[in-house]
Amino acid sequence: GGLAARDATRLYLAAFAGSQRTGGYDIRVVRIDRSGGTLTLRAMFTVPPPGALTIQVLTSPAHLVSIDRRAAASARDVVLLDQSAAERARGTVPQSQP
């Protein structure tokens, strides 16, 4: 597995839900917005319901998305929001290499 090719026309962004002790967790980016110099990733975080039977294994849910690099040309910051609009993470947008 892994990414086999690099596409300089795309900006790849990964959203992570952190290390979890069981299965049943998930994260899905459902929308990406840009406002000024900030990209906002809106994601759905899924957790297993109380008492649910889940596999007992460490998991690290993640979702890799890409957007046209031109659409993010002036973006410097990236923010990850959950379904209740709570900020889960913040970072900087990697700038393209010459």
Q: In this predicted structure, what is the pLDDT of residue 4?
A: 55
The torsion angles phi and psi of 71, rounded to 5 degrees, stand at -70, -20
Q: What is the pLDDT averaged over residues 23-40? A: 97
Confidence grade of residue 36 (pLDDT, cut at 50, 70, 90): very high
Compute how many other C-beta atoms are within 10 angstroms of the C-beta atom of residue 6: 7
Q: What is the pLDDT averaged over residues 28-39? A: 96
Task: State the Cα–Cα distance between residues 78 and 69, nearest whole angstrom.
Answer: 14
Q: What is the pLDDT averaged over residues 27-33? A: 98
Q: In this predicted structure, what is the pLDDT of residue 2?
A: 57
Task: State the Cα–Cα distance between residues 47 and 56, nearest whole angstrom.
Answer: 14
Q: Percent of the chain having pLDDT more than 70?
A: 92
Ranges assigned E (strand) in 38-93:
38-46, 62-68, 77-81, 87-92
The number of C-alpha atoms within 13 Å of 92 and in the hemisphere containing its C-beta is 4
Task: State the Cα–Cα distance between residues 25 and 59, nearest whole angstrom.
Answer: 8
pTM, entire model: 0.86
Q: In this predicted structure, what is the pLDDT of residue 6?
A: 72
